[in-house]
Amino acid sequence: MATEETPLLIGDIGAPDEVVPTAATTTAAAAAAKRRRDEIKGYIFMAASALGFALNLACVKALSISKIPALEIVFARSVLQLGLGLLGCLYYRVNPAGPGGVGMRRWLLLRGASGAFGNACFFFAVTVMPLADATVVFFTNPVFSAILASWMLSEPYGRFDKVASTLCMLGIVLVVKPTAIFHATNMDQNVNAGAAAALVGAMFAALAYCLVRKIRGSVHSIVLVVYFGFVSFCCSLVAMFALQSPRLPQSHYEWTLIVMLGCFAFLGQVLLNRGLQLAPTGPGTLMRNLDVVFSFIFGISLFGEIPDWTAVIGSFVIVACTVAMGLHKWRTR
């Protein structure tokens, strides 16, 4: 691999130039190479997390078909995720409370709360909307991530990003097809509520992503999983009994789905947290959009949810805009 080196002329006149690297340039080149390797690993982790989350959502959809309430699904996921996270802390010999200092733990709690609330909104959307539609609305979160990153991380948010963000909102309209615009007479009100929940979830997910970026390098990724699971466990336990009527799974099939739900969520969360710590926020959205692709595949193949042409066009607009924003940040950084 070529590195940046400082040429120094030595020897007699007419002799070939000889390049002598200094300690400073060698160190800088090594640091740049390591940063590039870390970014590539980050993209791979985020792509793998996309598959894990898509499988997790397929389990959510299957459980909702079995009439398991959304908040109970969130609670089941949080229990398994918290348990696996604590085991991971034991394995890596990491303090599950995170590094010392009240300030850092406040950031961790805020990250856990924003991620937990965003996840609960998303799960509700998946239970009342087609899997692909809920996913594509939720994955407008790179738009909100770019806006928040400009404030929290001092990343640029220029005219190109603003145009792409506006087009993403147009894509949401095509996916959701609100009655006021499309004059649909058979529009399920649950779909409207689900779309609103997915959009709110996207905003909180964007906040969670930016918080992970803000504390990057100072906290082990497994600690982020523990905080996410802990906050989600506490909140969903209360909300489950206050807002819905929970019921125990009635078959081995439902129990298996719940276990798979927690495992896929844990795997996806670990890989996502690590990927976000290694990859830049903007280009990382390229890998995250694989969630949408997997959700379309699972929605069609597992649940027979065939999207109409407006949903396909809207999904394409949203994915294209978020990818364009990522590429733009990549080229102009």
* DSSP code at position 99: S
- Of the segments 11-20, 88-97, 147-156, 277-286, which one has the largest average pLDDT value? 88-97
Please spell the DSSP secondary structure of 275-291, one letter per residue: HHHHS-HHHHHHHHTHH
R_g (Cα) of the chain, nearest Å = 23
pLDDT digits (tens, 9 = 90+) for 28-38: 777 777 777 88
pLDDT digits (tens, 9 = 90+) for 283-293: 665 677 788 88
- If one compares 35 and 231, the residue with the highest pLDDT of the two is 231
Which class for 156: exposed (0-12), middle (13-18), buried (19 or more C-beta within 10 A)? middle
Question: d(Cα 324, Cα 317) in Å, to the nearest integer?
Answer: 10
pLDDT at 23 exceeding the cut of 70? no
Q: How confident is the model at residue 131 (pLDDT cuts 50, 70, 90)?
A: very high
Q: How confident is the model at residue 252 (pLDDT cuts 50, 70, 90)?
A: very high
Other C-beta atoms closer than 10 Å to the C-beta of 18 total: 10
Q: How confident is the model at residue 87 (pLDDT cuts 50, 70, 90)?
A: very high
pLDDT at 233 exceeding the cut of 80? yes
pLDDT at 240 exceeding the cut of 80? yes
Q: How confident is the model at residue 75 (pLDDT cuts 50, 70, 90)?
A: very high
Burial profile 145-155: b = 16 or more Cβ within 10 angstroms, e = fewer: bbbbbeeeeeb
pLDDT at 273 exceeding the cut of 50? yes
On average, the pLDDT of the chain sits at 83
pLDDT at 197 exceeding the cut of 90? yes
